[in-house]
Structures are given as C-alpha cells and as structure tokens.
Amino acid sequence: MAQILDSADISRSLRRIAYEIIEHNKGAENIMLLGIPTRGVPLAKRLHDTLAEVGGNALLGTLDITMYRDDLRSQPTRGLGPTVIPESIDGKIVVLVDDVLFSGRTIRAALEALSDLGRPQAVQLAVLVDRGHRELPIRADYVGKNLPTSTSERVMVTLSETDDTDGVRIEED
C-alpha cells in the first residue's frame, strides 16, 4: 500500500482546481457544482468553499446516479442519497465532481441523470484522481492528480467527512 496524497495535498489540489474553474469559465457566477455520492459530495463541498474563498460564487448540489448505472443487474442498488439541485440546471455550467475517474461509466451515468433534469449550457468534470483505463470516451476537465495505475491496483480515497481521515493510496487487489 502506497500513500499518494495526504490532507495538505488534497487541499492544494482542490485550490488549484478552483482557480482553474474560475479561469476557464471567466468567473464562477454561472457555475453549479454537483457532487456524485459518495466521496464526490464532500469534495464538491470543499471545492465550493474554496471557490468562495478565492472569489467565486458557485451553486452546490448533489447528483444521485444510482438508477442510471449500467451495473444495476449485477450489483444491488446502493441508495446513495437524493439528488439535491439548488435551482434549474438550464443554462448553467455544471461541474460534476467525483473522487476517482476510472472507466468513465460513473460519469456516463451522471450525464444521463443530468439529461433528465434539464439542459445545461455546458458540463465539465472535476476529479481528485484520474487513474486512466477508460472504457468510454470521457476525460476530466480538472484533475487533482493523474495517477497511472495497473488494473490490478485499487485507488482508495479517504475523506474526513466519510472516513475520518484524508488521503489517497494505492492498494493491490
């Protein structure tokens, strides 16, 4: 097991992502951050708080993708929590926030869930870790850490809100 990021590294990554979001979108006034449960939700909250610190005024919500997953037959539903959208996504720049980008299937499900909610101006993706091995043509717009891995490894993200400690580590399957 190898520790890749600690609490300070995660904070630094989120601060950099916040500045990149503001720069890319010429501010944060039309931004809606949507965290994907489980760990994307606290990451979105932290990113929202960081944006507020550096002068961005984004909206914050949660996007439950459970019923849009393509593995529902093989895995029981997890009941990750309700979708909470502060206002209509129509015309907004929606930034999906998740912990790890791997195959791209979670983000595909998030895109389908979004299409049922309205028509955003644009959809962007912010992830703490991009580990590669994509199965779908999806890429992140904002990445905290690119982490090349083998398929026999697992990237484990822990956050104080869900796991009592912050960190990113690699474990062998």
User: Would you kindly state where each structural domain of the chain is located, as residue ranges?
Assistant: 8-149
Angle between helices 7-25 and 40-53 (to 10 degrees): 60
- Contact present, 84 and 57 (Cβ < 8 Å): no
The pLDDT assigned to 72 comes to 65
Q: How far is CA 138 from the centre of its chain?
A: 13
% the chain with pLDDT above 70: 95
Q: Who's near 12: CB < 8 A, 6+ residues apart? A: none
- Scanning the chain, the segments in alpha helix (DSSP H) are 7-25, 40-53, 105-117, 160-163
The residues of the chain scoring below 70 in pLDDT are: 72-80
> pLDDT of 113-127, one tens digit each?
999 999 999 999 999
CATH code, residues 8-149: 3.40.50.2020
pLDDT of residue 77: 58
Provide the whole-model pTM.
0.94
Longest dimension (CA), the chain: 44
The CA distance from 131 to 171, in Å, is: 13
